[in-house]
Structure 1
Amino acid sequence: MTIFGAIGIASTGLTVHQKWLDAVADNLANMDNATSTSEDAFQAKYVVAQANASGEGVSAVGVELGSAQGRVVYEPDNPLADADGNVRYPDVDQADQMTQLIMAQRGYQASAAVVDRAKATYEAALQIGRN
């Protein structure tokens, strides 16, 4: 593998982790969105990653959606409440999403560190060639 290969592989990790971060941010932003019980709740997004066919790097191959059933909560004062006083909220667990956020963030940082180290190695090789 060349230095450029390392940068290319790490960039695939950056892309997947960025998509993961985006999905988690979307889930957290919508976790308190109430809907009427006749509508589907917000469906959490989960990024599906897979190793590339070449064996070098990874790709986000899709997004799986969480349950549209959500959870029904008794809130008679909510303007969206049905006749029984119930509304539907997404089934998004904040603690789980924060854990996902930390893992995605750490993965992104690790991939960025690989790019930085490969770049430094390439610059050092150029410097040796100039002398």
Structure 2
Amino acid sequence: MPGPLNIFQVSGRAMSAQLVRMNTTASNLANASAVATTEDAAYRTMKPVFRTSFDRASGLATVDVAQVVTAGENPTKRYDPGNPMADGEGNVWDSAVDESRELVDMMEAARGYQNNVEVMSTAKTLITETLRLGR
């Protein structure tokens, strides 16, 4: 049976969750201008679903990514007969990625990641200073 969680484990899990968020956001941005021949083949925005767990032994809560799901608007049909991806009627399906929203998500994820780096750094400093007091 694992022992109680410590602050480094909590921050590490939060950093991992934010990294998944940054990766899905980067994928969404990379596919923002993608087109497809059918609605089913069109790119859909991906978002991580976070799950919070509470550790009774330590009194700390952690966050993990439970799954990555598609979210947001549906792809939109656009008439573009000159596009090589156009179907028989000259239509293509644009991905429905909101680039502004994705950039905001990327900034939030980066800030969340950085905040947890700071938590780890502060905890390390406090532990080091506490050990130094014992000398």
TM-score w.r.t. structure 1 length? 0.87
Partner of 1:49: 50
Tell me the C-alpha RMSD between the 2 structures: 1.9
Q: 1:33·1:90 contact (CA, 8 Å) conserved in 2?
A: yes
Identity %: 24
TM-score w.r.t. structure 2 length? 0.85
AA paired with 2:101? D
Specify which structure has the higher proportion of helix: 1
Partner of 1:86: 91
Partner of 1:106: 111
In 1: Cα distance, 2:126 partner to 2:36 partner: 53
Distance change (3 Å), C-alpha of 1:99 and 1:38 = closer
Gaps of 5+ in 1: none
Gaps of 5+ in 2: none
Point out 4+ residue stretches in structure 1 off by more than 6 angstroms.
none
3-state DSSP of counterpart to 2:50: strand
After superposition, the C-alpha distances for 1:70-126 in whole angstroms (9 at most, x for unaligned) are: 111222211011233210111111011111111111111111110110011111122
Equivalent residues, number: 127
Specify which structure has the higher proportion of strand: 2
Partner of 1:76: 81
- Displacement after TM superposition at 1:69 (Å): 4.5
